[in-house]
């Protein structure tokens, strides 16, 4: 997908197009499984093609080379704010949706809370919270694992990132956050009280009201969690984030700070059900590295097979299968001239299933991430479940630490029984099982 001189580039109208219903597109295929829809398009037309959805013209740029341009070499030409304009109406103007100097300034202010050393300091609370939830699961009998992980990851995020306390308040805020997530992906964008979108808007307002109270109460003593560090941070001009900026960042942290980890842990649990040989090998590693004592932070670097398994879960079952951008400045990609305003979609799901990148891509094979194979290193931007380049997910280290602590705990001290597969999946807004993945957790 080489860039061309402007005079040589062909217009957007020359890009091959998928067959769609006029104006409507193929909404069911696109929205029910966007990754598979785009993969079929890739197999038909290659890495660049057009499609439509409810009157929107979309250009798909797929594969590692497209990812490299979008996420690194030509990222300044592509706007997050434009690409996620509809989502921003619900979620606000947080870091994930910002561009240029505003994004650079706010990411720099937020980095201390998500730096590797800061994240390591979260270890004890993450582990204690996971232990409390797992013990409760073992007493409660059969229940959806997705909801269990959702409650666990929300509590970890709420306590460590936002400094929130109180079980009743956490449950209330968790429900509001769930409504916010559903509203952000709602099909009908009408704010009536009974619509999913309307409920999302009201949940956003309720969350902001609560966070405004939290910020006001902590002005004199911000604290050392992520919100406190944000409140205390100053840019190069000595300016702090305004209250509205703090609210925007807190809401997006509340939303993004646990959704993808919930999806990853749920998919990990499904994968262990479907691949008992991998689960047994993981347990052997836990016995060898951790033994009978408690998990320590220094154990994690030696759990190399667990790291490979989580990467393989991210590859085959990425929490988010579709990314969006708007073209901010005219750009030439793949021999075509894309004018400003063009809407772009790209896909981790497609990249992760390309046979020229990953050998036998439909096979669950964690060894592909271990020496000597390390297939992801042979092709840059081929593993992008959490983004890539300078805008790699700011919470990646947080999510990885959390996932490894929870996985290690469940492998060493518990056993879980799930309904036999296959499990029907929903891919939007984040990947999750339609039935919630009911299961029973028992002490080992």
What CATH code is carried by the domain that includes residue 89?
Answer: 1.10.630.10
Q: Is the pLDDT of residue 187 over 90?
A: no
pLDDT at 327: 97
**Tokens 């706010």 sit on residue:** 106
**Ranges 60-64, 90-94, 114-118, 392-396: which has the least confidence:** 114-118
Tokens of 231: 């409140």
Q: What angle do CA 200, 103, 224 make, to 5 degrees?
A: 80
pLDDT of 2 higher than 50:
no
Can you tell me whether residue 151 is helix, strand or coil? helix
Of 36, 122, 80, nearest to 328 by C-alpha is 80
- Tell me the whole-structure pTM to 2 decimals: 0.95
Residue 230 lies in a domain: yes
DSSP β-ladder status, 323-327 and 78-79: antiparallel
Judge contact between 400 and 432, C-beta under 8 A.
no
Of 37, 33, 62, which Cα lies nearest the Cα of 47?
Answer: 62
HSE toward the beta carbon, residue 417, CA cutoff 13 A? 7
Q: Where are the alpha helices (DSSP H) in 93-195?
A: 100-114, 116-120, 123-140, 145-160, 167-184
Total domains present in the chain: 1
Q: What 3-state DSSP class applies to 326? A: strand
Q: What is the DSSP letter of 9?
A: P
Residue 1 pLDDT greater than 60, yes or no: no
| pLDDT, position 5 | 44
pLDDT at 438 over 90: yes
Residues 290-302 have a mean pLDDT of 96
- The answer to whether residue 424 is domain-embedded is yes
Q: Is residue 1 part of a domain?
A: no
Residues 417-442: what's their mean pLDDT? 94
Residue 143 is part of which domain span?
6-443
Q: Does the residue 139 lie in any domain?
A: yes
Angle (deg, nearest 10), helices 396-413 and 276-289: 90
**What's the CA gap between 56 and 271, in Å, rounded?**
36
User: Given this model, what pLDDT does residue 226 score?
Assistant: 85
Residue 65, domain member (yes or no): yes
- Give per-residue pLDDT as tens, 319-358: 999 999 999 999 999 899 999 999 999 999 999 999 999 9
Read off the pLDDT of residues 370-400 as tens digits, 9 standing for 90 and up: 999 999 999 999 999 999 999 999 999 999 9
Q: How far apart are CA 102 and CA 84, in angstroms?
A: 16
Kindly state the average pLDDT of the residues 77-101.
94
Q: Please state, in angstroms and rounded to a whole number, the distance separating the CA atoms of residues 390 and 103.
A: 11
116 pLDDT band, cuts 50/70/90, is confident
- Report yes or no on 57 lying in a domain: yes
Query: What's the burial of 45, exposed, middle or buried (CB within 10 Å: 0-12/13-18/19+)?
Result: middle
- Whether 166 has a pLDDT exceeding 80, the answer reads no
pLDDT for res 4: 40
Q: Is the dihedral of CA 224, 230, 234, 240 positive or negative?
A: negative
The whole-number pLDDT of residue 3 equals 42
The packing angle between helices 396-413 and 145-160, to 10°, is 130
Of 391, 394, 428, 427, nearest to 78 by C-alpha is 391
Q: How is residue 286 written in tokens?
A: 């836990």
For 204-235, how does the pLDDT look when each residue is reduced to its tens digit (9 = 90+)? 999 999 999 999 999 888 888 888 888 999 99
By three-state DSSP, how is residue 359 classified? coil
Q: Give the whole-angstrom CA distance, residue 45 versus residue 42.
A: 5
pLDDT at residue 8 greater than cutoff 80: no
User: Could you report the per-residue pLDDT of 28-87, keeping only the tens digit for each?
Assistant: 999 999 999 999 999 999 999 999 999 999 999 999 999 999 999 999 999 999 999 989
Across all residues in the chain, what is the average pLDDT? 93
CA distance 253 to 274: 32
What is the rounded average pLDDT of the residues 239-253?
Answer: 92
Asked if residues 226 and 110 have their Cβ atoms less than 8 Å apart, the reply is yes
**Spatial distance between the Cα atoms of 196 and 429, rounded to a whole number of angstroms:** 13
Q: Given this model, what pLDDT does residue 7 score?
A: 56
């Amino acid at each position: 997908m080489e860039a061309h001189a402007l005079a040589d580039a062909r217009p957007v109208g020359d890009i091959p197009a998928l067959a769609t219903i006029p104006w409507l597109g193929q909404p069911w295929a696109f929205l029910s499984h966007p990754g598979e829809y785009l993969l079929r398009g890739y197999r038909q037309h290659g890495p660049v093609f057009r499609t439509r959805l409810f009157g929107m013209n979309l250009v798909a740029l797929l594969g590692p080379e497209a990812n490299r341009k979008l996420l690194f070499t030509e990222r300044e030409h592509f706007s997050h704010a434009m690409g996620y304009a509809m989502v921003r109406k619900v979620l606000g103007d947080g870091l994930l949706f910002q561009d240029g100097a505003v994004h650079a300034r706010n990411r720099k202010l937020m980095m201390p809370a998500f730096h590797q050393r800061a994240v390591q300091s979260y270890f004890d609370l993450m582990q204690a919270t996971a232990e409390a939830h797992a013990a409760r699961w073992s007493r409660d009998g059969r229940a959806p694992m997705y909801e269990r992980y959702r409650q666990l990851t929300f509590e970890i995020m709420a306590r460590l990132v936002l400094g929130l306390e109180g079980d009743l308040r956490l449950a209330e805020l968790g429900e509001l956050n769930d409504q916010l997530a559903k509203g952000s992906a709602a099909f009908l964008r009408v704010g009536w009280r009974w619509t999913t979108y309307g409920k999302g808007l009201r949940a956003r307002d309720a969350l902001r009201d609560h966070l405004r109270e939290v910020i006001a109460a902590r002005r004199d003593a911000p604290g050392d969690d992520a919100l406190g560090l944000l409140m205390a941070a100053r840019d190069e001009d000595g300016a702090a984030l305004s209250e509205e900026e703090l609210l925007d960042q807190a809401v997006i942290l509340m939303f993004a700070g646990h959704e993808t980890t919930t999806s990853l842990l749920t998919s990990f649990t499904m994968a262990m059900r479907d691949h008992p040989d991998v689960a047994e090998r993981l347990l052997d590693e836990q016995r060898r590295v951790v033994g009978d004592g408690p998990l320590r932070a220094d154990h994690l670097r030696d759990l190399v097979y667990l790291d490979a398994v989580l990467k393989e879960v991210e590859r085959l079952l990425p929490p988010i299968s579709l990314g969006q951008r708007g073209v901010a400045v005219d750009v030439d990609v793949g021999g075509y001239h894309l004018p400003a305003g063009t809407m772009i979609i790209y896909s981790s799901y497609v990249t992760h299933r390309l046979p020229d990148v990953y050998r036998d891509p439909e096979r669950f094979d964690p060894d592909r991430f271990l020496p000597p194979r390390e297939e992801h290193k042979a092709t840059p931007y081929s593993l992008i479940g959490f983004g890539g380049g300078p805008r790699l997910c700011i919470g990646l280290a947080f999510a990885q630490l959390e996932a490894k602590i929870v996985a290690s705990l469940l492998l060493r001290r518990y056993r879980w029984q799930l309904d036999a597969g296959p499990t029907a999946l929903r891919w939007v807004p984040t990947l999750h099982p339609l039935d919630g993945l009911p299961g029973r957790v028992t002490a080992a």
